[in-house]
């Protein structure tokens, strides 16, 4: 009898140990699974952010990020910073038109809707663009407010290849990211080679006309004017860079002194104003019919927002300024660019509409 009691006690210990052992193993497996579901990603500001391993939905922080994310991973867009314009809708699949709207974090139109972001519950938020002075602190603050990982990816015109390489690693599309990076690098390298071999007296001077009267401009050194310098142009507006959107305001007297070789214009109304109003006719660029409206479908080739669209803008402007050096078929380049980045095969009629 005593022996039976000892045996039963021993069995109870074994069963209990086995039960807790299994339970511990289950917990360990569960913990391992959780660990495997996240990873550490170092963004362009040097922040180490814990993000999901498998990212399915991304919220852009603004229009610039929206465009780049659409090019790199359209089906991972969990919402939009801004609506597609009526003109641009024809270049994008309808399934993206009615995604949730979040607004934007930076800029003169900053209107980020945190409630809409929380409701959409994206895996991560991605900010893409210029590395502002306090960008790391801004991203940390937004992440703390929302409880959603926030990643910053720097995107200057000259380093769009690095932007796409980083995005490829972020979203698990490294091969595609490398392809985009290669394309961007080839365009910038060609532009740099042409520009550095131009003598100073060969460089065309350019005025970037903005605003209702055409007397606002993106000054030399501004983020929005980078495409002019990269394409080999000389920005005549050697003035203070505007601290907010809309460009730096100048006087017509200043513009008359600058006498740019070429004027590029951001809207059709302003283009018509410049080529028709008497006051503009004293400018050499107008006399020589060197006034050009910047193509703006689906987005402006020069900026607004200053995103990947500037890569085709460099080719467009470079070909205008130095056709004997660029030697490209701009129609073909537009078709190839839109196919690669906007995922659309343009018709000849659409290309003509974009470039008119």
Three-class SS state of 196: helix
pLDDT of 27: 45
Give, for all 356 residues of the chain, the pLDDT tens digit. Answer: 444 444 444 444 444 444 444 454 444 444 444 445 999 999 999 999 999 999 999 999 999 999 999 999 999 999 999 999 988 899 999 999 999 999 888 866 678 899 999 999 999 999 999 998 999 999 999 999 999 999 999 999 999 999 999 999 999 999 999 999 999 999 999 999 999 999 999 999 999 999 999 999 999 999 889 999 999 999 999 999 987 668 999 999 999 999 999 999 999 999 999 999 999 999 999 999 999 999 999 999 998 888 999 999 999 999 999 999 999 999 999 999 999 999 999 999 999 999 98
Q: How far apart are CA 95 and CA 101, in angstroms?
A: 14
Question: According to the model, what pLDDT value does residue 9 have?
Answer: 47
The tokens describing 249, both together, are 């305001």
* Pair of tokens at residue 294: 């910047």
In angstroms, the CA 1 to CA 185 distance is 86
193-355 CATH pick, 3.40.920.10, 1.10.443.10, 3.40.50.1980, 3.40.47.10:
3.40.50.1980
Q: Which two tokens stand for residue 297?
A: 């479908």
Query: Minimal CA–CA distance to 63: which of 113, 94, 107?
Result: 107
Helix, strand, or coil here: 38? strand
Secondary structure class of 193 (helix, strand, coil): helix
Host H or E run for residue 162: helix 160-171
Measured in Å, how far apart are the chain's first and last C-alpha atoms?
A: 103
Report the pLDDT value the prediction gives residue 3, as an integer from 0 to 100: 44
For 38-166, which CATH class?
A: alpha beta
Residue 272: which residues within 8 A CB-CB, separation 6 or more? none
Q: How many Å apart are CA 62 and CA 66, to the nearest integer?
A: 6
Domain ranges of the chain: 38-166, 193-355
């Amino acid at each position: 009898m005593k022996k039976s009691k000892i045996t039963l006690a021993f069995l109870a210990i074994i069963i209990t140990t086995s039960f807790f052992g299994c339970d511990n193993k289950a917990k360990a497996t569960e913990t391992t699974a959780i660990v495997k579901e996240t990873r550490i990603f170092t963004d362009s500001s040097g922040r180490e952010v814990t993000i999901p391993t498998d990212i399915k939905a991304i919220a852009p922080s603004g229009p610039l990020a929206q465009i780049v994310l659409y090019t790199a991973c359209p089906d991972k867009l969990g919402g939009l910073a801004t609506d597609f314009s009526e003109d641009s809708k024809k270049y994008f699949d309808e399934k993206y038109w009615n995604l949730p709207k979040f607004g934007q974090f930076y800029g003169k139109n900053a209107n980020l809707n945190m409630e809409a972001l929380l409701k959409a519950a994206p895996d991560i938020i991605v900010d893409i663009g210029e590395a502002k002075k306090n960008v790391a602190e801004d991203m940390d603050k937004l992440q703390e407010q929302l409880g959603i990982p926030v990643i910053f990816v720097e995107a200057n015109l000259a380093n769009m290849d690095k932007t796409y390489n980083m995005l490829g690693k972020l979203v698990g599309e490294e091969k595609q990211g490398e392809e985009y990076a290669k394309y961007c690098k080839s365009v910038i390298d060609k532009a740099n080679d042409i520009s550095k071999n131009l003598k100073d007296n060969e460089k065309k001077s350019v005025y970037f006309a903005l605003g209702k009267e055409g007397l606002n401009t993106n000054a030399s050194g501004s983020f929005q004017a980078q495409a002019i310098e990269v394409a080999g142009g000389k920005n005549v507006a050697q003035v203070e860079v505007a601290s907010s959107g809309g460009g730096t305001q100048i006087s017509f007297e200043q513009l008359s002194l600058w006498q740019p070789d070429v004027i590029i214009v951001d809207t059709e109304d302003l283009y018509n104003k410049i080529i028709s109003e008497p006051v503009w006719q004293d400018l050499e660029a107008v006399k020589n019919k060197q006034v050009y409206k910047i193509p703006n479908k689906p987005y402006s080739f020069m900026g607004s927002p200053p995103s990947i669209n500037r890569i085709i803008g460099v080719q467009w402007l470079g070909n205008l300024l130095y056709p004997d050096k660029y030697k490209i078929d701009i129609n073909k380049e537009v078709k190839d660019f839109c196919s690669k980045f906007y995922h659309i095969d343009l018709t000849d009629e659409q290309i003509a509409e974009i470039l008119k």
